[in-house]
Amino acid sequence: MSKLTLAFCSVLALLGPALAGGTPTLEQGQRYLRSGNWKKAAEAFSAITAEDPSSGAAWFNLAQAHNYLKNYDRSIEAGEKAAEFPEIRATSLYNVACSLSLKGDVDKALEALDRAMKAGFLDFDLLETDSDLDAVRRKQSFPMPRKHEYDVHKGNGKSFQYHVILPEGFDGKKTYPAAFAFPPGQGVRSADWMLESLFGGETKNRGWIVIVPVAPKDGWWTHPFHHAMEGLLNRLKRKYKVEGGRFHLVGFASGARPALTYSRMSGKYWQSLSTASTYGWTGWSEDDLVKFARRKIQVHLFVGAEDEYGVGVARRVHQSLKKHGGEASLSVLPEQDRQLLELHGGAWLTLLDQQRTTD
């Protein structure tokens, strides 16, 4: 669970500021967590949740603090409360699974992991290595994707791995549409999952070049990786004939967040932006959407019908982009949750092909 602390920074920004008055603030509680003062952190977040039960950030952090204190029952209770907030449901349920595993309740930990994955938690590196889940792994091996070979791009003093899928019968003289796809989670194993589940098998027959980057070690695609990424994009454009000279940007689950970031930072590289889930879109204001609509990047939103919260966010984004002159489509996939199985096995590229030819 401790490895997820950094991932909470963006969640904290989404779920609201601290309370006023005598109640400790979220930032004060965060400082206690960062300094390892778990008892003070638990006291702070307990006070905040008592004052404001609608603070998902406080419930999330309270669960972490109690986990560090080995108060597993309290951690599980707070984690289940945090899981009621859709934007942090997947990670909160993962944390619940960790506390259950540490408590020794392996069967319930497996149930919580199953709920976390259905909610969109697909960080396979963490599933494979997190010591909190040692008791679970002793009982049952997780189904892991097969491993892939990766190239390394170095630029701007940074380096990261990436994998390229070329179409069957690739001809260097021909032009192909190209997708640049950010995987869910962090690390190589999550990228392996994307390559195996979303773009494996039939993808080579779809006539697309697909590039999947691996997030850097700290998990964040922030500056100065932006410039390193531009170097890779220019390198790929020199090596392959990319349709229109621009890529189709893709983000699945939490991979939608970096996809959104790069769609705003490097607009000249992208023909379209496709996100499966509403990670990242939640914090966009109306003004943000107006500005993005003016960029004239085609936006394709995929969301599962069973993800009611995500459907609401996607509809707001879609309507706003269309209202302000943007190019946008919305696909609500029936009987689908955040894993969006309907997009697996290369089907995503088929849908993008259909949109390419009709736009």
CATH fold, domain 151-358, is Rossmann fold (3.40.50)
Give backbone dihedrals phi and psi of 121, rounded to 5 degrees, phi first.
Answer: -80, 110
Residue of 303, 293, 291 whose CA lies nearest to 331: 303
Of the pLDDT bands very low, low, confident and very high (cuts 50, 70, 90), residue 17 is very low
Instruction: Please tell me what DSSP assigns to residue 330.
Output: E
Nearest to 195 by CA among 353, 348, 336, 342: 348
Tell me the C-alpha distance between 37 and 148, whole Å: 41
Share above pLDDT 90 across residues of the chain, in percent, rounded to a whole number? 66
Label the pairing between strands 270-276 and 247-252: parallel
Can you give the pLDDT at residue 219?
61
Same fold, 2-139 and 151-358: no
Are 11 and 17 contacting, i.e. CB atoms less than 8 angstroms apart?
no
pLDDT of residue 359: 59
Dihedral of the CA atoms 193, 307, 216, 102 (nearest 10)?
Answer: -80
Residues 113-119 have a mean pLDDT of 92
For the chain, the structural domain boundaries read 2-139, 151-358
Whether the predicted pLDDT of 9 surpasses 70? no
Classify burial at 308, counting beta carbons within 10 Å of its beta carbon; exposed 0-12, middle 13-18, buried 19 or more.
Answer: exposed
For residue 84, the model assigns a pLDDT of 95
Average of per-residue pLDDT across 178-190: 92
Higher-scoring residue by pLDDT: 318, 217: 318
In the predicted structure, residue 222 carries a pLDDT above the cut 90: no
- pLDDT bin (cut points 50, 70, 90) of residue 47 is very high
Could you say which of 1.10.150.110, 3.30.1330.10, 3.40.1030.10, 1.25.40.10 is the CATH number of the domain covering 2-139?
1.25.40.10
Lowest mean pLDDT among 26-35, 47-56, 59-68, 210-219: 210-219
pLDDT at 45 over 90: yes
Per-residue pLDDT, averaged over 335-358, amounts to 86
